[in-house]
Amino acid sequence: YKVILIGGIGYERGDILATVALNIVGFFTVAFLTGYLAERTVKIERELEEKKIDFKKLEAMNKYIVENINSGILTIDADARVTSFNKAAEKITGYTLGEIYNNTIDMIFHNLLDTKDYSIPPDEGDPSYFRIDTPFKTKDGRGLFLGLSVSPMNPVRKEFSDGVKDGGYIVIFQDLTRLKNMEEQLRRVDRLHALGELAASLSHEVRNPLASISGSVQVLKDSLQLNNDDQRLMDIVIREADRLNALVADFLLFAKPAVKMTKVNLNDIVSETVDMFKNSPESKNIDIQIELEDSLFIEGDSRQLKQVFWNLFLNAGHAMPDGGKLEVRGQWPGNAEQKFIEITVSDTGTGISSDIIEKIFDPFFTTRDSGTGLGLAVVHRIIEGHKGTIEVKSKKGEGTSFKITLPSLIS
């Protein structure tokens, strides 16, 4: 073997060649691995970028869904402070995110997390979830009926847990007011059907004997020589018999109205009823103002519609025993096609307290000793039979306003 001196040290030629070959192989191996790893890194970075884009798309889609769903959605943290509030929640409640953000949920839903009045009891396996149906007042005071679902916000997937604090809740709610009203209307129809059968029986079984009693007493009163006390007793019997007969008539009208629909002009109906009211004792010291647009035609029963306005005028008179102002206005309420007519009857009387205003259309509900409690119930029933609506607004001590909306009949 030949010996080669390098730096004063002798190396055999074979060892040098082996070392060089090993270094060359190592160099190319490192180069190959570096290229592979670089290519792999670029590929992974590309995949991560694609996943990042997909995640952003998913995040944007989730945000779009939350913001555009019809249900109200809000989230609260472990301290019951609002952390998010979607557009539907703003629309339903009347509050904005800016108004309630970081405020406690009690600002909107009082004692929600402490409630035990569940419409759907909590799941035994997860008692922190529950659902309730509850009355609700919006920011501007409108009354709604909401269905609320409350769920714990404890993330179960690690990728969704960043920034989410355990112990919060998601509250999802829907406006069920229309559904509740429909349910109440169905119950009302069932009750009215039963009342109609009862009214038909009462009309025959009660009114005929009443007519006999009243007629007989009137004959005795005219034929006998009665002293003042007896005369007064006879008058009481006749008056109470007439009152009972009127009560039965009102009950029959409420429970089973016989409708005869024709083309009628509400201008004539209102004017004739006002003239009748002016000649009644209830109109004493009352200033009556009428403002009606021309040709307010509808399809209706003129007799029943007169009864509606007569009952409303009498109510106004009873609410103003010392006098006041009664206003009657009829108009097309700003609809270009003139599909509906609005009639408002307003007084400056004693008003109706908020705790009973929801009951005034209930049959036999009255606040007067001499009242039958059927006047406004009959009004509601007739308007309902004419496919219309009636609303009431009142403030104790300031007066009451009834707004009637009826489908029009263009002349």
Band the pLDDT of 329: cuts 50, 70, 90.
very high
Shared domain check, 111 and 31: no
**Residue 272 sits in a domain of what CATH number?**
3.30.565.10
Amino acid 155: pLDDT? 52
Tell me how many domains the chain contains.
4
Residues 169 and 191 in one domain: no
Do residue 278 and residue 380 come from a single domain? Answer: yes
Q: Is the pLDDT of residue 393 over 70?
A: yes
Kind of pairing between the strands at 324-331 and 286-292: parallel
Bigger pLDDT: 389 vs 204:
389
Low-confidence winner among 156-170, 221-235, 318-332 (lowest mean pLDDT): 156-170
- Alpha carbon distance 411, 407 (integer Å): 13
Q: Calculate Rg over the CA atoms of the chain.
A: 40
Q: Predicted confidence band at 348 (pLDDT cuts at 50, 70, 90)?
A: very high
Boundary of a domain, candidates 175, 204, 222: 175
- The length of the chain in residues reads 411
**Phi, psi values for residue 52, rounded to 5°:** -65, -40
Q: What confidence tier does 268 reach under pLDDT thresholds 50, 70, 90?
A: very high
Can you tell me whether residue 144 is helix, strand or coil?
strand
Range from 123-132, 134-143, 162-171, 283-292 that averages highest in pLDDT: 283-292
Distance CA 292, CA 301 (A): 19
- Whether residues 403 and 290 share a domain: the answer is yes
Residue 376 has pLDDT above 70, yes or no: yes
pLDDT in tens, 96-132: 988 989 988 888 887 666 654 444 444 545 556 778 8
Query: What are the tens digits of pLDDT across the range 143-160?
Result: 888 988 888 876 544 444
Q: Return the CATH number at 108.
A: 3.30.450.20
Asked if residue 107 and residue 36 are part of one domain, the reply reads: no
Amino acid (1-letter code) at residue 203 = S
Q: Are 117 and 93 in contact (CB under 8 A)?
A: no
User: pLDDT category, 266, cuts 50, 70, 90?
Assistant: very high
Of 313, 375, 373, which Cα lies nearest the Cα of 343?
A: 313
Residues 239 and 296 in one domain: no
Percent of the chain with pLDDT over 90: 16
Alpha helices by DSSP H, 94-137: 97-100
Quick: pLDDT tens for 17-72.
Answer: 666 677 776 666 766 666 667 777 777 777 767 666 566 776 667 676 767 788 88
Query: What digits encode the pLDDT tens for the residues 211-220?
Result: 777 778 778 7
Domain boundary residue among 140, 175, 210?
175
Q: Are residues 366 and 291 in the same domain?
A: yes
pLDDT at 305: 92
Q: Is 193 in the same domain as 126?
A: no
- Mean pLDDT is lowest, of 131-140, 212-221, 396-405, for 212-221
The reply to whether 28 and 56 lie within a common domain is yes
Domain boundary (160, 175, 190) is at 175
**Residue 271 is part of which domain span?**
262-407
In a 13 Å sphere around the CA of 22, the CA atoms on its Cβ side amount to: 6
Number of H helices, E strands in the chain: 8, 14
The amino acid that residue 356 corresponds to is I
List all residues 6 or more positions away from 252 whose beta carbon is below 8 Å from its beta carbon.
Answer: 199, 200, 202, 203
Entry pTM: 0.51
DSSP string, 36-75: HHHHHHHHHHHHHHHHHHHHHHHHHHHHHHHHH-SSEEEE
- pLDDT at position 291 is 92
Report pLDDT for 205.
66
The closest alpha carbon to 120, from 107, 138, 132, belongs to 132
Residues 399 and 266 in one domain: yes
- Most confident by average pLDDT, 17-31, 114-128, 242-256, 373-387: 373-387
In this structure, the answer to whether residues 240 and 277 fall within a common structural domain is: no
Task: Mark whether 165 and 103 lie in a shared domain.
Answer: yes
Per-residue confidence at 236, pLDDT binned at 50, 70, 90? Answer: confident
List, in sequence order, every beta strand (DSSP E) within 332-388: 340-347
